[in-house]
Amino acid sequence: MTTSESPASTARLDDRRAQELRRDFPVLSQEVHGRPLVYLDFGATAQRPRAVLDAERAFLSEHNAAVHRGAHELAALSTGDFEDARATVAEFIGADVDEIAWQSGATDALNTVALGIGAASRGRGGEGSAPLRLGPGDEILITEAEHHANLVPWQELALATGAALRWIPVNERGTWTIDDARALVSPRTRIIAFAHVSNVTGMIAPVAELVELAAAVGAITVLDACQSVPHRPVDVHALGIDFAAFSGHKMAGPNGIGVLYGRRERLAQLPPARTGGSMIEVVAMDGTTFMDPPTRFEAGTQPVSQAVALAEACRYLRAVGMEEIRRHEEAIGARLVRELSAIPGVAVLGDGPDAPRSGLASFAVEGVHSHDVSQFLDAAGIAVRGGHHCAQPLHRRLGLTASTRASSYLTTSDDEIDALLDALRGVRAYFGADR
């Protein structure tokens, strides 16, 4: 099977290079409402380059078959592509190949961990799963800034086990510090779950310090890496985390696939959350044994073409350069904070432009609802996100029901940020909120 060429990693990712890369993404060449599309909603869903689209199409055209099942040639080719994709994605995040399991998305991956720990707490998995058991008196620690996908599963786990759910509070800017976390970590803390990068404020979590705090009390760390793996170099072994989750559709890959990373010993302890075909070893009418990880966590028909496309997305991003992408986006993030804050009536969520942050900025416009702001920008051809960004507790803490978010990626250029800023300067006047 052949795939498209990925971009050569010879050029620095500056504004000119971002505009060149934009041509690799077919959807970005269109007009919206008679205006050139300015896509600044990468934090929700990234667009896909031609190389990724071609890789999935080539697989479906040439090798499509059920994996790990048939003895025919197509099944062998499909299985090879599937496992090669696993190796590529594992290498992309610094994991071993048997430490990543395909999931339907990051939400699914986080639920797999929470549900598996719940099963272990009921005695599933025997003594091998004992290190994961929770009960009354134990505590699960999250932050008030979490995406609902890294909040609700822990609420459910706390209800199911009798453990207490505690959270690191955010300040008036919507961010938190390692000192805030240190004040809450105790010998009762069994799990610390947190986002590597906030999808609302762009805050970059102090991962190393949190892992150190967790290790001191024997707690498990669970990292929501949805806003980090697509945008910056991530080495899960170097970070020292126990579990991590991220989605394909946020990193120039396909929908319907996500990745659960787990340290080998943690995956071995985790009972499966879903059961059925593919993940079994021996099935009898009075009981079943399961395959070793990662296959244990892949019940049912596997997302084969999606895995192939996600691997191609990893190759594409690596060719551009993850460190280059990080620098490019952080510069955009700082500019967004600085120049949005200078617009009368616009308040940016999160820390100021000098604080480390990713390439996104969420903001509130005085007197104008975020949905109206988003529609106003859409009329100018600018796609942003309006709403609570699946982070209602964070917005509630800030006295907001919603905010507007502009999120960048490797194709974002200065011209696009100029267009956003120019349009925003007219929002309050249009809605009569400047009187």
Q: What pLDDT, in 10s, does the model give residues 371-400?
A: 999 999 999 999 999 999 999 999 999 999
Q: Are residues 234 and 365 in the same domain?
A: no
Q: Are residues 275 and 309 in the same domain?
A: yes
Q: What pLDDT, in 10s, does the model give residues 48-79?
A: 999 999 999 999 999 999 998 888 999 999 99
CATH number, residue 335: 3.90.1150.10
Residue 8: inside a domain, yes or no?
no
Question: pLDDT band for position 1 (50/70/90)?
Answer: low
Q: Are residues 352 and 209 in the same domain?
A: no
Residue 435: inside a domain, yes or no?
no
Residue 385 is given by DSSP the state E
Instruction: Write out the residue range of the structural domain in which residue 416 sits.
Output: 15-49+321-430
Residue 9: inside a domain, yes or no?
no
Nearest to 28 by CA among 15, 41, 11, 16: 41
CATH number, residue 132: 3.40.640.10
Q: Which uninterrupted H or E stretch holds 378?
A: helix 370-379
Of 277, 294, 318, which one is at a domain's C-terminal end? 318
CA distance 62 to 2: 9
Q: Are residues 32 and 43 in the same domain?
A: yes
Residue 10: inside a domain, yes or no?
no
Q: Are residues 206 and 250 in the same domain?
A: yes
Q: Are residues 44 and 76 in the same domain?
A: no
Of 292, 318, 344, which one is at a domain's C-terminal end? 318
pLDDT in the model for residue 78: 94
Residue 4: inside a domain, yes or no?
no
Exactly one of 390, 400, 421, 433 is catalytic; name it.
Answer: 390
pLDDT in the model for residue 69: 82
Decide if pLDDT at 12 tops 80.
Answer: yes
pLDDT in the model for residue 434: 85
Residue 370: inside a domain, yes or no?
yes
What is the residue whose two structure tokens read 């759910």?
A: 165
Q: What pLDDT, in 10s, does the model give residues 174-219?
A: 999 999 999 999 999 999 999 999 999 999 999 999 999 999 999 9
Task: For strands 139-143 and 382-383, give the pairing.
Answer: unpaired
Average pLDDT rounded to a whole number, residues 134-147: 98
Q: Are residues 378 and 308 in the same domain?
A: no
Q: Are residues 256 and 384 in the same domain?
A: no
Average pLDDT rounded to a whole number, residues 314-343: 98
Number of domains composing the chain: 2
Of 298, 318, 338, which one is at a domain's C-terminal end? 318
pLDDT in the model for residue 115: 98
- And the tokens for 172? 């008036």
Tell which phi-psi region holds residue 75, choosing left (phi > 0), alpha (psi between -120 and 50) or beta: alpha
Residue 31: inside a domain, yes or no?
yes
Average pLDDT rounded to a whole number, residues 5-33: 87
Does residue 390 carry a catalytic annotation?
Answer: yes
pLDDT in the model for residue 42: 98
Decide if pLDDT at 10 tops 70.
Answer: no
Residue 5: inside a domain, yes or no?
no
Task: For strands 382-383 and 38-39, give the pairing.
Answer: parallel
Residue 422 is given by DSSP the state H
pLDDT in the model for residue 27: 98
Q: What pLDDT, in 10s, does the model give residues 147-170?
A: 999 999 999 999 999 999 999 999
Decide if pLDDT at 7 tops 80.
Answer: no
Peptide bond into 230 cis (omega under 30): no
Q: Are residues 230 and 115 in the same domain?
A: yes
Query: Across all residues in the chain, what is the average pLDDT?
Result: 96
Q: Are residues 127 and 139 in the same domain?
A: yes
Q: Are residues 328 and 304 in the same domain?
A: no
Q: Are residues 258 and 368 in the same domain?
A: no
pLDDT in the model for residue 8: 53
CA distance 432 to 246: 41
